Structure 1
């Protein structure tokens, strides 16, 4: 079944379909790709060379040269091979796009690949003085005429079908088989016609060398049909294939213009142009097929990369949830054990057990807030933003980490600047940033046998901003790692997954701030959280 396809007059290369259901193959290949400026210049240069050669050869075309009939089978064999390969490539592109125009064009090249075989066999002097099949020179002449009439007719049919964008929706292999059968049958029919009806056909040659007036008229008619095909290709040119088919039409016109007496300069030159005509589209198809393979390979690589990125993002979400929830879950387990010990006393210490259970409830709520903050983080939502007192976040963070700080014998000092402006943001997310930095400081000071001091400062910054400084007395930061320490999956810890600092930086940047890291001159690391205050954020808006 044939249905009109969708035209593409936008002047740009077609984009890939959004889904597999929308893909019909009609949006890729030579038939739809727009020619580049370089391709246009190349085609123009080829046509210019053809024109120059024809103008220089035309005055000497009738000059007689030595009779070398063996050159015809050699050139026809080359034409047959190149046109057969071109037909196969065109059928391959048709199997992708389903364009009936490509099917007809492939059939035209297949017709040419087949008809040159009997043309060579019947050529006088090539295999026998009068040619094989007992046909004589008139058979050769009529085969040449049909050859050079059928191909430009195929070009006209291609232009007409391409203008309607007809797409074959049925079985594409069956369509190729029918086209192959039609081309083969047409060649066999014409060969039988010129052989068995030779005595009824008008004479095209007066003798071995000279054409009759009808022979000239038939050549002129073939030339006229080629000019019409070139004109329609020029008027409806849209794609790279159209561009090179115009070059083919120019080469065909050059061949017919030089066609003259047999074994003349024009005769041999026209055979060379026949070979040029058969190779132009083949070269373009091979180049485009290689380019298409490259683009498909690149697209496949990009799809694989996108899939890997999605998997990595999923792994990052899971790892970040695991990273953030571990602390409240560990606190819940520890406080539950403490409460059970207090209840196991005789008599039970109810007050201390109640205090431990109350802290379990607080840690459970904090774990729930972590899930909410991670969900908001990965969907980049502005919901949940409130006015926040920075000093209050610092105090609550240190209170949450008090047990860990005490267990690791760390002295906590705070220098909180009073009357700091508030900032607008996600409280749970900013608290998770501080918790991560404090936890990293605790791990960094584990190997320090001297005083372990954690200093947290808040102070004003430029443009009404706020700075939160987290400083420790650990070994400090390796200068080699400063450029990559905030990258995802980069870690210096034996069991680290490299997501903590990356998520911290993402949270701070989502709040319009910066997360900076440096080594302190007196030893230890310093992390600065620079955030815009509520006042500076309002003025920026």
Structure 2
């Protein structure tokens, strides 16, 4: 069985607010263990083992960091434009900072454009850009953590949001440009923390040590305050950064050694974690949105087709008995208006009127058979998917009334054969009724939907609420047409639901949900029975 509880609100469907599942936590733990195992293997004497210099490695690494962090920043900026969260803006700025600094870091690296670096400053510029990039990201990550609980900027208009993003991008770009100019043209003013590619000054550990401590502090702080999937993977990013610093900065930062190459790989991984999960989340949400839009379109088309069918049936079928009733009534009046009323003919006319009245009543009753004589093709359906699609259709109502949803799906359910639109409408009606029953109730509002095997040839779905429930005296009446307990209800919803279920050879009934509420159950035959 799969069980999940979620208050279906719009902000809970994005990465920065979606709670991580048990599977995601376990996968993240496995990634941590792998990173640790590799670090233990590479740490120590093996870390300083020199390897052959690969000239293309540094440009490839710098390009990878720029592309990965730029895309991650763009995705985070887009989430900020929706959620208007200060924290997301700060984190996006951190990724944009590291993406931009990757450009001068690559250009100043000795041997890429010139033996001493293409922008001037040589070895010292490269090291200080490395420090600024890491310290900047750690500080932005801490700002993200501290602002996670801040109220979103709801007062900002879409135009103001775009202006805020552009201002942030411009500010970060200006900071990176100023820092690049300073460390390249004014490198002589900076303390020398590296003497050559194999020797460090006494200031080295006073610079790199606090930098590593900054990441450790950010990781601990995020661990204490993490709640979302984004928090979970950002912890992995910070952890990978700590390992990268350990491999490249301790004990001696030999360039083009095993530890140096491994540190660069960890640097790429640290940038990729959030990007991959963002892409996965965006793809998943796009799929959910597409399914919801298609479901709404199918529902709208079904309503239009049903309305056209009902209108055509009423216009065509009931017109004849009504016309006959008018003709017979007129004839009866003429027989009665005669000087000597012809009672026998008048009775015969009234009998014809009664007959045509029964015929009109039968036509109206036969409108219900539209659900039973559906000419559209029935297909094999997954009941669990039908429930998910129905929840997507009523998402706004759930959010408006602050209703949480609990689902309990039996993943081994066999398929059924039926009309997707009708069964979807059935679920929408039952869920909407459950929402209405709790709209005026105090306390928690929870709807529970469950699916399970009912017997060898059918399955059962239950819709449970904690609302005002159904009066015992009305249990047998609520499925009757025009019977309603709502002030503005028409009394057709549950009648239509029962018609749909009966057309699919199933059964619909209601039971009490103690201590309060009601549970609507319905069964459907499995596809094997057809």
TM bin (shorter chain)? 0.5 to 0.7
Q: For 1:303, what is the secondary structure of its paired residue? A: helix
Query: Aligned match of 2:161 in 172, 176, 182?
Result: 172
Q: Residue by residue, what CA displacement relative to the aligned partner does 1:19-62 show, whole Å, maximum 9, x if unpaired?
A: xxxxxxx3431111121222222211111111001111001112
Give the aligned partner of residue 84 of structure 2. Answer: 98
What residue ranges of structure 1 are gaps of 5+ in the alignment?
1-10, 18-25, 367-399, 402-430, 438-483, 492-505, 518-541
Structure index of larger Rg: 1
How far does residue 237 in structure 1 lie from its aligned partner after superposition?
Answer: 1.2
Q: For 2:372, what is the secondary structure of its paired residue? A: coil
Cα contact 2:329–2:350 (8 A) shared by 1: no
- Which whole-Å CA distance do the structure 2 matches of 1:297 and 1:15 have between them? 17
Equivalences for 1:75-86 in 2 at 5 Å?
75-86=61-72
How far does residue 262 in structure 1 lie from its aligned partner after superposition?
Answer: 2.0
Q: For 2:254, what is the secondary structure of its paired residue? A: coil
Q: For 2:153, what is the secondary structure of its paired residue? A: strand
- Which whole-Å CA distance do the structure 2 matches of 1:186 and 1:338 have between them? 96
Give the aligned partner of residue 117 of structure 1. Answer: 103
Q: For 1:284, what is the secondary structure of its paired residue? A: helix
**Structure 1 residues 436 and 68: alpha-carbon distance in aligned structure 2, compared to 1, 3 A threshold:** closer
Q: Residue by residue, what CA displacement relative to the aligned partner does 1:110-162 show, whole Å, maximum 9, x if unpaired?
A: 11111011011111112111101221211111100001111111111111111
Equivalences for 1:485-496 in 2 at 5 Å?
487-490=372-375
Cα contact 2:48–2:259 (8 A) shared by 1: yes
Higher relative contact order at CA 8 Å, sep ≥6: structure 1 or structure 2? 2
Query: Aligned match of 2:143 in 140, 157, 179?
Result: 157
Give the aligned partner of residue 204 of structure 2. Answer: 215
1:225 correspondence with 2:214: yes
How far does residue 318 in structure 1 lie from its aligned partner after superposition?
Answer: 4.0
What residue ranges of structure 2 are gaps of 5+ in the alignment?
377-478, 482-493, 503-530
How far does residue 307 in structure 1 lie from its aligned partner after superposition?
Answer: 2.4
Equivalences for 1:89-488 in 2 at 5 Å?
89-167=75-153, 169-170=155-156, 171-259=160-248, 260-312=253-305, 314-315=307-308, 318=311, 321-322=314-315, 325-326=318-319, 328-336=321-329, 338-339=331-332, 342=335, 350-352=342-344, 354-355=346-347, 432=361, 487-488=372-373
Q: Residue by residue, what CA displacement relative to the aligned partner does 1:355-388 show, whole Å, maximum 9, x if unpaired?
A: 4675688689x5xxxxxxxxxxxxxxxxxxxxxx
Query: Aligned match of 1:34 in 10, 13, 19?
Result: 19
How far does residue 331 in structure 1 lie from its aligned partner after superposition?
Answer: 3.5
**Structure 1 vs Structure 2 CA RMSD:** 3.5
Cα contact 2:16–2:228 (8 A) shared by 1: yes
- Which whole-Å CA distance do the structure 2 matches of 1:489 and 1:262 have between them? 74
Cα contact 2:329–2:353 (8 A) shared by 1: no
**After alignment, is 322-331 or 98-107 more displaced?**
322-331
Q: Residue by residue, what CA displacement relative to the aligned partner does 1:452-490 show, whole Å, maximum 9, x if unpaired?
A: xxxxxxxxxxxxxxxxxxxxxxxxxxxxxxxx9971445
**Structure 1 residues 15 and 131: alpha-carbon distance in aligned structure 2, compared to 1, 3 A threshold:** same
1:57 correspondence with 2:42: yes
TM-score, normalised to structure 2's length? 0.63
Give the aligned partner of residue 47 of structure 1. Answer: 32
Cα contact 2:72–2:274 (8 A) shared by 1: yes
Give the aligned partner of residue 455 of structure 2. Answer: none
Give the aligned partner of residue 382 of structure 2. Answer: none
- Which whole-Å CA distance do the structure 2 matches of 1:14 and 1:167 have between them? 22
**Structure 1 residues 297 and 485: alpha-carbon distance in aligned structure 2, compared to 1, 3 A threshold:** closer
Cα contact 1:209–1:263 (8 A) shared by 2: no
Cα contact 2:70–2:99 (8 A) shared by 1: yes
- Which whole-Å CA distance do the structure 2 matches of 1:169 and 1:344 have between them? 77
Q: For 1:172, what is the secondary structure of its paired residue? A: helix
How far does residue 302 in structure 1 lie from its aligned partner after superposition?
Answer: 2.3
- Which whole-Å CA distance do the structure 1 matches of 2:364 and 2:58 have between them? 87
How far does residue 333 in structure 1 lie from its aligned partner after superposition?
Answer: 3.0
Cα contact 2:247–2:262 (8 A) shared by 1: yes
Cα contact 1:13–1:32 (8 A) shared by 2: no
How far does residue 216 in structure 1 lie from its aligned partner after superposition?
Answer: 2.1
How far does residue 314 in structure 1 lie from its aligned partner after superposition?
Answer: 3.8
Q: For 1:103, what is the secondary structure of its paired residue? A: helix
